Structure 1
Amino acid sequence: MAKQKSFKNLSSSPKSSMLPWLGIATIIILIDQITKVTITRLFSYGDSMPVTSFFNLVLTYNKGAAFSFLAGQDGWQRWFFTAVAVAAVIFILHLLRRHAGQRMFCWALALILGGAIGNLIDRLAYGHVIDFLDFYIPNSTLPHWPAFNVADMAIVGGAALFIIDELRRVGK
Structure 2
Amino acid sequence: LLCDEATSALDPKTTASILDLIQEINRRLKITVIVITHQMSVVEKICSRVAILEEGTVVETGSVEQIFSRPRSRAAKNLVFPEGGNTVAVTPAQKNSIRVVFNGAVAANRPLVADLAIEKGIRANIAYASTKSVGDRAFGSLFLSFDDEAQKKTAVEFFTKITDITVEEL
| Alignment TM class, shorter chain as reference | under 0.3
Query: Going by fraction, where is helix more abundant, 1 or 2?
Result: 1
The structure with more strand, counted as a fraction of residues? 2
